[in-house]
Amino acid sequence: MIVWENFGSRTDTVFCGVFDGHGPHGHMVAKRVRDSLPLKLSAHWEVNLKSEDVLKEISLNAGASLNSEDASLISAAEESRVSIDVEEAEKQPEVFQTLKESFLKAYKVMDRELRSYTNIDCFCSGTTAVTFVKQGQDLVIGNVGDSRAVLGTRDKSGSLTAVQLTVDLKPNLPAEAERIRKCRGRVFALRDEPEVARVWLPNSDSPGLAMARAFGDFCLKDFGLISVPEISYRRLTGKDEFIVLATDGIWDVLSNDEVVKIIASTSSHSSAARSLVEAAVRAWRTKYPTSKVDDCAVVCLFLDSNSNNLSTASNTNYNDETVSMEANEVGAKTDDASGPTALPRSGTVREGNEVSGEGDDVSEEGIEEASEHEELLSEVGTEWSALEGVSRLNTLLTLPKFVPDKEEK
- DSSP three-state, residue 176: helix
Query: SS3 of 264, please?
Result: helix
One DSSP character per residue, 207-219 reads EEES-SB-EE-TT
Kindly tell me the sign of the dihedral angle through the C-alpha atoms of 261, 262, 266, 271.
negative
Q: What is the pLDDT along the chain (409 residues), one digit of tens a residue?
A: 899 999 988 888 999 999 999 999 999 999 999 999 999 999 999 998 877 555 555 555 555 444 544 444 444 444 444 444 455 555 678 889 999 999 999 999 999 999 999 899 999 999 999 999 999 999 999 999 999 999 999 999 999 999 999 999 999 999 999 999 999 999 999 998 999 999 999 998 999 999 999 999 999 999 999 999 999 999 999 999 999 999 999 999 999 999 999 999 998 888 899 999 999 999 999 999 988 888 899 999 999 765 434 443 433 443 332 222 233 333 333 334 433 333 333 334 443 333 333 444 444 455 555 554 444 333 333 333 232 333 334 555 533 334 444 444 4
* Residues whose CB falls within 8 Å of the CB of residue 279, separated by 6 or more in sequence, listed in order: 254, 258, 262
Distance of CA 231 to CAs 86, 140, 211, 327, 349, Å? 19, 7, 17, 28, 23
